[in-house]
Amino acid sequence: MAKNAIGVIYARFESAGLKIVAAKMVHLTREQAEGFYAEHRGRPFFDGLVTFMTSGPIMVQVLEGNDAVRRNREIMGATNPENALAGTLRADYADSLTENAVHGSDSPASAEREIAYFFSAGDLCPRTR
């Protein structure tokens, strides 16, 4: 969010055919960030990631569309921005491996868990048109 690129990032999702069906701005507490990234606890980057994710507000959203997880990962680019292809979000907006601009679920199962972390079923607004 520090780069004021929310609209540009959302436009990239939408131009790729994905629909935003829920979105909100949150400022994570340390406890929330540690809970969200619990699977990474004990890894060398964990503390830096939690510190970054709690350093200011973030946008969380739910994307809908055919093969949304895979398509989102293509739009984001490689986790390490040094390996991200030109034109991907991480190539364009990431500062480092820890501050890599965007997070995206790595599987439909992860997406389900991560969506439930931030949204209730009533928060989702499927786009029918």
Report, at the CATH architecture level, how domain 6-118 is classified.
2-Layer Sandwich (3.30)
Mapping DSSP to helix (H, G, I), strand (E, B) and coil, where does residue 103 land?
Answer: coil
40 is known as an active-site residue: no
Q: Hunting for tokens 């990431």 — which residue is that?
A: 94
Averaged pLDDT of the chain: 94
Q: Hunting for tokens 């390490």 — which residue is that?
A: 80
Query: Which is the catalytic residue, given 78, 103, 111, 114?
Result: 103
Report which of 3, 1, 83, 99 is spatially closest to residue 91, judged by C-alpha positions.
83
What are 10-47's pLDDT values in tens digits?
999 999 999 999 999 999 999 999 999 999 999 999 99
pTM of the model: 0.90
